[in-house]
A and B are shown apart, each in its own frame.
Chain A
């Protein structure tokens, strides 16, 4: 079976180049006359640039439009002329019962809770799956992989009933607590793959020195796992920041709304009258994702390439 998911050696001499192994061109261009090759390359790049532009044109247009007066959004499909009218942002920021910063704070809190939960619980679980030999491990592992494919809708109704009985509806607990129970199997699997790539000799040396599993875990495995932890943090951030379904179910009053819910209620409230402000707040909601994409891309690429789910 193609060993796609095996991570590179965990002690990477060139940590900044983790994504480079995917990006370096490898198929040599067949020997051909110089002129024909140039023509081909130009043609290819023209097609690729056109495709790229088509892909991101809607995004660019949304950014440009958010800086335009409202009526122009429905008149100007072009990116030009650029205008820098921040009125939409000012209006959108305070268009709802709370300022937009309130929703940004709520989302940030949720993200922090979920990241901590995932880092805590998934590392422990992954270590057990990768390194410990205990009764029922294979069955547990298979079940973990199956939960990866379980539609959330099958459990959402009873979960909701359960959390409404504990009085946690309209709090963030139903969204955060599951993360502390390693329910994000994607990350468990990603970490298992990563730990399997760490040489066992390291554990065994520590064992001979008298370390127990907890010390091996904290002193040896965890420090070597930082790339996997970074990938987990970034993915958890992005998915939690974008998560709409969970917020929609559990968060009921505006003071607890996260960013996606705030956008949704903005849309409900404004109908289609103030697209400018709506675009502006949409852009605000995408900025953190974009920053993570810019600075965390190599972990994202690595994470997808190694575990490749979703």
Chain B
């Protein structure tokens, strides 16, 4: 699974730490998601979607291998 969290974050001009605080996770979680090392739960994906005011499908994308 790929994501454009980093791009969305840049558009909103918000740091990993700030985003982490807003959605209530550790900064390591945000960083790991951006690096593609961690796939967030549905709850977390929906929180991110709500924060960026975009559908989940516009932030996270399936890859061929998924």
Question: Are A and B interaction partners?
Answer: no
Q: Give chain A's interface residues, CB within 8 Å of chain B.
A: none
Q: Give chain B's interface residues, CB within 8 Å of chain A.
A: none
